[in-house]
Structure 1
């Protein structure tokens, strides 16, 4: 009789670890255990914070095009147009503005009309008439206080085209830490007001969740069940803004200075004549945090 009893004890000892690893309930079950921090009366409070900060980054690009019968001459002339500009912009330092220059060339073929009168390129190596070289200067302005002067310098260099000015906000670690602290303080303020209105007082802190997910737990829907499941990190809304200049009377406007010679940086007068009002916009920075308190 002892052998079956010993076997039963052995089977129960083997099955115990497996049973201990079984989840307390299935998600979606009608009645499920609450989280450990909800065994006593608690209040879960989400703190929200929203601030507006000025964009601290800007970027745009400019292109210079040259057409010549020789690919070498076209590339050289295009490079000459951006060399002085690149050197002028690089003098600000990489911590204030970053400059990237690229050069590309493409052939321009002899054209003819087909039997339907449509103009087509004769894309044969022996039918190349000229070469077009394009030099592109891409700028990332990290000190927006210099944006107007940098933009005017590029405009005064007479490029063939200039892109829109893009603004964005890159918050530093100090700003992120201050934002997270403000969200925590807002969570306590909300919790104190709710407890007071309900005739209770706050107890000790049970849970601190900087992502805010713990406060989204829906016990009635099944534990653990979270709203979106996505981490609520600090977010920044991007904006695209173009520069504009106030329109003045044509009779009162002085004549613009002549453009710079090819291969030369624009003069101070040419830069001032090309200045535009480029004010970095305000962008929204948001964060949230969850704090669970006990109730007395």
Structure 2
């Protein structure tokens, strides 16, 4: 009885491993077909492409201040952005999100070495001044307010301002519409192909929004197993695209009168700094695989 019980126990322990054994081995010429290919089928890939206006924008501006005291330099830099931050905050977080950071660095006494190269005397007792830099980073979520927000920052006379970048964040409705249109396009392609061949389209066997089921290795049977024959690829359907727009220096308007330090720019200064900033069109694509039976 003991040998019989040992054999039964061995079979029970090995059953999960046997159940996970792939239906094909590397190098095997013929492999079992998926269940939905036991009868004649047609696999159709639908493609959809749409252009949508970018709905996000962003840029950053920096304000610098130099003083012999690190505390005073930081205070002056903070004063430059305090009123601006309050003005931008009045738009609300659904329109623009503002992040402000403050950094300081020492400015050392300089000297020339034996080769005439100008170097910093990086010793604690050789610090001449401190430079504080306040950076305002803006993420505009309502691009209809972009021109006014950008003009407000420009009128505040920052030491530097970055280029404006644009991006598209599609909502769930747009994604659902893309997926539906991709499946519809796959159905139209399959119907047109079958009718051209003189056949009749049957029932739907598989609907795969990722398009994976229509790949060659699946239609041939099963994906290869093991590292020697390549790994299956995960396909991501969400497309995020970005763009940017730069203003040429020779086309830049003359700077508006600067606002006093610590004060928000006036309406006249904002209007004088307004520029045309039209969000560009961005491309979204999607695919879907639909497998039909043939009558």
TM-score, normalised to structure 1, is 0.88
Task: State the shift of 1:20 in Å.
Answer: 5.7
Q: For 1:217-239, what per-residue CA distance to the aligned partner results, in whole angstroms no more than 9, with x for missing partners? A: 43685523599622141313221
C-alpha distance in 2 between matches for 1:246 and 1:72: 38
Q: For 1:145-180, what per-residue CA distance to the aligned partner results, in whole angstroms no more than 9, with x for missing partners? A: 000110010000000000111110000111100100
With over 3 angstroms needed to count, the CA separation of the structure-2 counterparts of 1:124 and 1:117, relative to structure 1, is same
Q: Contact conserved, 1:217 with 1:223, CA < 8 A, in 2?
A: no
Q: 1:231 aligns with which of 213, 231, 235?
A: 235
Match of 1:169 in 2: 168
Match of 2:258 in 1: 259
Query: Given the alignment of the two structures, is residue 120 of structure 1 paired with residue 124 of structure 2, yes or no?
Result: no
Match of 2:143 in 1: 144
Q: Contact conserved, 1:32 with 1:219, CA < 8 A, in 2?
A: no
Q: Contact conserved, 1:217 with 1:224, CA < 8 A, in 2?
A: no
With over 3 angstroms needed to count, the CA separation of the structure-2 counterparts of 1:167 and 1:20, relative to structure 1, is closer
Return 5+ residue gaps in structure 1 as ranges: none
Taking the TM superposition and a 5 Å limit, the aligned residue runs for 1:54-65 are 54-65=53-64
Task: State the shift of 1:95 in Å.
Answer: 0.7
Match of 2:36 in 1: 37
C-alpha distance in 1 between matches for 2:52 and 2:23: 46
With over 3 angstroms needed to count, the CA separation of the structure-2 counterparts of 1:65 and 1:22, relative to structure 1, is closer
Match of 2:199 in 1: 200
Q: Secondary structure at the match of 2:52?
A: strand
Q: For 1:63-113, what per-residue CA distance to the aligned partner results, in whole angstroms no more than 9, with x for missing partners? A: 000111111111111000000000000000001100000111111111111
Q: Secondary structure at the match of 1:278?
A: coil
User: Aligned pairs, how many?
Assistant: 284
Q: For 1:212-262, what per-residue CA distance to the aligned partner results, in whole angstroms no more than 9, with x for missing partners? A: 0000043685523599622141313221222469959xxxx9x86521111
C-alpha distance in 2 between matches for 1:199 and 1:74: 81
